[in-house]
Amino acid sequence: MKNKDFKGKHFITLQDWRKEEIDHALDLAGKLKKKYYDWKPHRMLRDKTLFMMFFEQSTRTRNSMEAGMTQLGGHAHDLTPDKMQLSHGESAKDTAMVLSRMGHGIACRNCFYGIGNKYLNELADNSRIPIMSLQDDLYHPMQGLADLMTIQEYFGKDLKDIKIAISWAYATSHAKPLSVPLSQILLFPRYGMDVTVAAPKEFPLLKNIVDTAQNNAKENGGKLTFVDDMDAGFEDADIVIPKNWGGFGNYIFDEYNANEAECMKEMKANLEKHKSWICDERRMGLAKKGVKYMHALPADRGNEVTPGVIDSPAAIIYDEAENRLHTAKAIMGLTM
């Protein structure tokens, strides 16, 4: 497989990429990381332009893409709805048709529930250049790829039977999307990992994606188990990923009939039932010796996780965040 084989390929979900394609991207990310630390130029995208469309705020995604594009020798346009005709109702089709005649790649974050993934696919259907997801309501492939790179750095390429606890956690900072845990349960079992998802019954993941993830596990020798007890999820884990996600799947995708205000009221009531779902030192003690703590960030300190955990040597969150740069550069370099 060669880099040129990827040119023009969309990156909306890792589920659309074969394992050998993901492995090739990770191999390139590793090479680019070494060049970065050796101060060696790696201008794969000299004079090329990336359009970045952000419907929500971002720290790691925005800066990994923009810094990455600069390091690859190109330029990134930082676009928000107020800078475009999106605020006046311009369609995804028209936006894609125009931008794809002016540059070499379009990257978009749209996490609106029931809208985001459809919007990205509409961009892809009408673009002559690659569309890259910077997160939508269902998937966050950039985060998933960086997570996998980080896990391989600590545990090696052979990840069979590595046990990962993906746990819901209490948070008040904001209503966090489903896309990170959904991307993780789809990806990790493809590499033979033993994944346990711990969540209260009020905060399930989407059934159709869970079904696909179960098939991924079956086909690749991985495991995917669900429990409704945080302690049970942490037991004997090599890696813990405790993170809040909303109950939006119940309301949007299952055609819940109540209005938005009633939905939010019920979600908040369900959230407050589970304040005890926090990653603390006691729960870390249930995992294996040497357990690693991961989080896509920003973490809700004091709610999702205690300072004693997130600031401990067990936390590899900054390696994880840095790898957003190297994996983003690999995806841009391959597809653009």
What end-to-end distance do the CA atoms of the chain give, in Å?
Answer: 16
The percent of residues in the chain predicted with pLDDT above 70, rounded, is 93
The answer on 172 and 121 residing in a single domain is no
Tell me what pLDDT residue 274 has. 94
> Which residues does 160 contact at the CB level (< 8 Å), separation at least 6?
191, 192, 193, 221, 222
Tell me what pLDDT residue 150 has. 98
The tally of domains found in the chain comes to 2
Most distant CA atoms of the chain, gap in Å = 57
φ, ψ of residue 312 to 5 degrees: the values are: -95, 165
User: 52, 83 in Cβ contact below 8 A?
Assistant: no
How does residue 85 score in pLDDT terms, banded at 50, 70 and 90? confident
Tokens of 279: 């990653």
Range from 6-10, 80-84, 183-187, 247-251 carrying the lowest mean pLDDT: 247-251
Tell me what pLDDT residue 110 has. 95
Beta bridge partners of 283: none
Q: Would you call 137 helix, strand, or coil by DSSP?
A: coil
The answer on 229 and 125 residing in a single domain is no
Average pLDDT over residues 79-101: 87
Angle at the Cα of 210 (from 8 to 327), degrees rounded to 5? Answer: 35
User: 117, 105 in Cβ contact below 8 A?
Assistant: no
The answer on 31 and 65 residing in a single domain is yes
The answer on 169 and 252 residing in a single domain is yes
Tell me what pLDDT residue 251 has. 46
Hey, CA dihedral for 58, 234, 146, 211, is it positive or negative?
negative
The answer on 157 and 123 residing in a single domain is no
Round to whole Å and give the CA distance between 333 and 69: 9
Average pLDDT over residues 40-46: 98
CATH number where 197 lies = 3.40.50.1370
Taking residue 72's Cβ as centre, other Cβ atoms within 10 Å add up to 24
Domain extent for 135: 3-140+324-335
pLDDT in tens, 220-277: 999 999 999 999 999 999 999 999 998 554 544 444 445 666 666 777 788 889 999 9
In the chain, alpha helices (H): 19-37, 60-71, 92-99, 116-125, 141-155, 179-187, 207-220, 230-234, 248, 260-272, 281-284, 307-310, 317-335
The answer on 165 and 45 residing in a single domain is no
Compute the mean pLDDT over every residue in the chain, rounded to the nearest whole number: 93
Residue 204 DSSP symbol: P
| pTM recorded for the entire structure | 0.94
Round to whole Å and give the CA distance between 248 and 137: 10
Angle at the Cα of 216 (from 214 to 222), degrees rounded to 5? Answer: 85
The answer on 163 and 86 residing in a single domain is no
pLDDT in tens, 146-201: 999 999 999 999 999 999 999 999 998 766 889 999 999 999 999 999 999 999 99
The answer on 136 and 70 residing in a single domain is yes
Tell me what pLDDT residue 272 has. 87
Round to whole Å and give the CA distance between 146 and 57: 19
The answer on 127 and 113 residing in a single domain is yes
Hey, CA dihedral for 91, 94, 97, 99, is it positive or negative?
negative
Task: Name which of 2, 95, 6, 4 is nearest 331 in CA terms.
Answer: 6
The answer on 291 and 259 residing in a single domain is yes
pLDDT in tens, 267-286: 778 888 999 999 999 999 99
Taking residue 274's Cβ as centre, other Cβ atoms within 10 Å add up to 17
The answer on 157 and 12 residing in a single domain is no
Q: Would you call 171 helix, strand, or coil by DSSP?
A: coil
Tell me what pLDDT residue 247 has. 59
The answer on 202 and 181 residing in a single domain is yes
Find where tokens 């084989």 sit.
Answer: 5
